[in-house]
Amino acid sequence: MTSPIYTASIPVFKQMLGGLSGVLAKAEAHVAAKKIDPNALLQARLFPDMFALLRQVQVATDFAKSVSARLAGVDVPKLDDNEQTFADLQARITTVLTFIEGLDVALFDEAATREIVTQAGTAKEKRFTGASYIFNYALPHFFFHTTTAYDILRHNGVEVGKKDYIGTY
């Protein structure tokens, strides 16, 4: 039987990153059609001390790959965080999707009880079971960044809707 922790993570990340990719594609088409500097959106933020769109996408994809790796018990892949364009962000999403789709379902068999340690060795170190990690920590953070990326674009008049955010499942 497929672990519920797999069901709660990999297919959800796939769905929402697919949605995010579609939302970003519409944003890129929007700046092209209106002859706007892409950075007007990529560097847009809802408040000066919040992350800009580009960083929101980096962090959303970070959560997807790190959380998936930790739950599966494999090394967390490193990304260079050097994206600058919409095309770079799409490539990053594709890289993360390829990684998480490659994780065997069986790796998640013990995920619910696996001990997950975040920020190990620092004052902020936290210990979770896999179940608590995905439900109380990872999903709230992941959805925060996919939603805020969408909210930044909506706030800037890009014509995307809830359906785009939700993706396909």
Closest distance between a second copy and the C-beta of residue 122, in Å? 16
Write down the least CB distance from residue 108 to a second copy, Å: 12
CB 107, CB 74: distance < 8 Å? yes
Length of the chain: 169
Which is nearest to 68 in space by CA: 123, 121, 14? 14
Q: Does 16 bind a second copy (CB under 8 A)?
A: yes
Q: Which of 46, 52, 74, 107 binds a second copy (CB under 8 A)?
A: 46
Q: What one-letter code names the amino acid at 7?
A: T
Which of 90, 144, 163, 164 is in the footprint of a second copy by CB under 8 A?
Answer: 144
How far apart are CB 64 and a second copy at their closest, in Å? 14
Which neighbouring-strand residues pair with 116?
A: 128
The reply on whether position 112 binds a second copy by CB under 8 A is: yes
Question: Which listed range, 33-41, 80-88, 93-101, 132-140, lies at the site for a second copy (CB under 8 A)?
Answer: 132-140
Query: What value does the CA radius of gyration of the chain take, rounded to a whole number of Å?
Result: 16
Nearest to 131 by CA among 5, 2, 1: 5
Structure tokens at 92: 């990053």
Binding region for a second copy (CB under 8 A) out of 60-68, 74-82, 101-109, 147-155: 147-155
Q: How many helices (H) and strands (E) does the chain have?
A: 7, 2
What does the block give as tokens for 96? 């993360």
* Residue number, 16 or 89, with CB nearest to a second copy: 16
Residues that bind a second copy (CB under 8 A): 4-5, 7-8, 11-12, 15-16, 46-47, 50, 112, 131-132, 135-137, 139-141, 143-144, 147-148, 150-151, 154-155, 157, 162, 165-166, 169
